Structure 1
Amino acid sequence: MGRPPLIALQGFVIAARTGNLSLAAQQMHLTASALSHQIRGLEERLGRRVFIRGPRGVELTPEGVRLLESVGPSFESIDRAMQQFSAPHADVLTLSLMPSVASSWLLPRLPTFVALHPQLQLNLQSCVELVNFEREPVDAALRFGPGEWPGVHAEHLFDDWLTPIASPDLIARLGRPTLETLSDWPLLRDPENVWTKWFHTYGGKPPARYVAHFDDTETLHRAAIEGMGIALGRLTMARPLVDAGQLVLLSAHRLRAQFAHYLVYPPRSEKHPALLAFRAWLLDEAHRYTLAPALVAVRGKKRRSG
């Protein structure tokens, strides 16, 4: 059996990862029929099928799984090696963004940057997972976290703050709570249960039970909008909802969130012209944001509980 051409193996790897011959063909700048011909030739050389073709795409056969495990890492190594020699386009910036931060904080401000730099092209990728800068063609990312990620630069943008929020309908039904009566209201528990710290700092005690527990902030905010209860909302995400009249801030008191917002980028992006322009603008916008009255924490005296 002769050695199969590399283009056939490359097409196999991409098709295996995408699960779709048409998408794989587009990435390789081939027609779907041309790639299908390459895959058939590969299967003839191997004497066995590597894909099961269906109406919604392709699935690997057991032999295909074994082949992918054998040749896939080699193509990944080649991709990583080539990325070291490929200079980024000076006028193109690819950013990875958490959807919540993109929609609530960055996008409302982004038209200003576009107007200042009309020659630059922005490629925005929404993703909740951490970026692997060694494997992915991404120049930088906006992330909410501890600020300590190995092998990258992480520049602090701004802290986030937590404060009680509720829907106007809930307030219309039950009235407006005070610090003393807050624990008597229907409360929504956040992923880290910051309510415990809230009551420890500002007085009162946690309720005997929460109305519901949530494992992500966006769903927590949505439940508050629907009038399910009071949530400790993150101001970066909650402020646009307050401005839109969907939520109401119930207290001037704030708690600093455990994590903060950062601009993260690998060493290869340090001198990328588009990133330098975006970084300068972003740091200025972040500074303006931290000076906003809504983010000034009111330092209340700690009260005794009970």
Structure 2
Amino acid sequence: MKRQNDIAWLPLNSLRAFAAVHETGSVGAAADELRVTHGAISQHLRGLEDRLQRKLFTRSGTRLVMLPEAADLADNLVRNFRAMAGDIDRFRRDDNILNITVTPHFAQHWLLPRLGEFLQRHPEIDLRINTDATVHDLEQGDFDAAVRHGDGNWPGLSCERLLEGWDAVVAAPSVLESISIQTPRDLTKLPWILDEDRDIEMSRWFDDHGIAHRAHTRITRLPSALTLVAALDGYGVAWLPHVYAAPYLASKRLVQLFGDDLWSAGNTRHYYLCWAEGRSRPGFRTFRQWIRQQISE
């Protein structure tokens, strides 16, 4: 005789239907989620109650209401089904494939100049890089890791700080030829190039230096990946992450204005390497070790 905790006893389709009703909130939505009929879901629920020999729902008019103890069971089922899906996904995927998503700026100005060394050292890893600005779901999606800019507080993720996020006000020498810059207010006489995603942060810089944001009549907003390029081409003053501007400051293609313009000590927005807790395949561990070495050099 089979024990009741034997997997052969489990009514898997009925349990999936039950978990889907709990997760979606209704029989109809669960039917849509599982791509079956409303009647099929109802039949699975009746069959599960018969199998368990206890009620799972009460009726409120025409609506089914899950009993509290049944909701606890459904919570556990949802969590375990997700864990199973994650295990199967990791099993079916080649361990040598590494999918990462990074910000466009980080990809262009930090990662790509160093990437050749990684590919040469690890030809066995099939690296795939996504550079759109979307914040992708690392727990349920196809990405193994992400480089994000923020405070490092993303629930469900492990995050490791890579780069400090302080910024510098810079310009090409040609922009400064015809004007003497003595105070931050003098910068309002020059055209500015701003990252379209960081307008609030730039406004704070203006405020900290007693400059009305609207005092600038020539502001061009560009995607983050283009702000450094536009600054190098002499289109105006830019407010850039120092880590990206540093090589061009050293070569004097850019000039840093007001060298003490670091972020305040309370700034918590930095660059982080993030991954879902419990999801760390060999390819990612190799990449994580390599990027740590690059940061420390």
Query: Do they superpose with TM above 0.5?
Result: yes
Deviations 1:70-125 (A, max 9, x none): 876337x9999544323243322111112221111011111122222222221112
Counterpart check, 1:209 vs 2:218: no
CA distance in 1, matches of 2:273, 2:184: 39
Counterpart check, 1:254 vs 2:261: yes
Residue 185 (structure 1) aligns with = 189
Residue 87 (structure 2) aligns with = 84
Please tell me whether the aligned partners of residues 96 and 124 of structure 1 are also in contact (alpha carbons under 8 angstroms): yes
Please tell me whether the aligned partners of residues 183 and 204 of structure 1 are also in contact (alpha carbons under 8 angstroms): no
Code of the aligned partner of 1:162: D
Deviations 1:218-241 (A, max 9, x none): 454455445443222222333455
CA distance in 1, matches of 2:268, 2:229: 21
Please tell me whether the aligned partners of residues 183 and 205 of structure 1 are also in contact (alpha carbons under 8 angstroms): no
Q: Runs of 5+ in structure 1 lacking a partner?
A: 1-68, 289-306
Residue 152 (structure 1) aligns with = 157
Residues 251 and 80 (structure 1), Cα distance of their counterparts in 2 relative to 1, 3 Å cut: same
Residue 117 (structure 2) aligns with = 112
Residue 263 (structure 1) aligns with = 273
Pick aligned residue for 1:143 from 121, 133, 148: 148
CA distance in 1, matches of 2:245, 2:200: 17
CA RMSD in angstroms comes to 3.4
Pick aligned residue for 1:133 from 124, 135, 138: 138
Q: Tell me, what secondary structure is at the counterpart of 1:269? A: coil
Please tell me whether the aligned partners of residues 100 and 145 of structure 2 are also in contact (alpha carbons under 8 angstroms): yes
CA distance in 2, matches of 1:126, 1:280: 21
How high is the TM-score relative to the length of structure 1? 0.58
Measured after TM superposition, the shift of residue 279 of structure 1 is 0.7
CA distance in 1, matches of 2:243, 2:188: 27
Measured after TM superposition, the shift of residue 148 of structure 1 is 0.7
Pick aligned residue for 2:34 from 74, 96, 99: 74
Measured after TM superposition, the shift of residue 200 of structure 1 is 6.7
Aligned length: 216
Q: Runs of 5+ in structure 2 lacking a partner?
A: 1-28, 36-77
Code of the aligned partner of 1:233: L
Residues 109 and 176 (structure 1), Cα distance of their counterparts in 2 relative to 1, 3 Å cut: farther
CA distance in 2, matches of 1:268, 1:93: 16
Identity value in percent: 23
CA distance in 2, matches of 1:277, 1:209: 49
CA distance in 1, matches of 2:282, 2:109: 26
Measured after TM superposition, the shift of residue 155 of structure 1 is 0.9
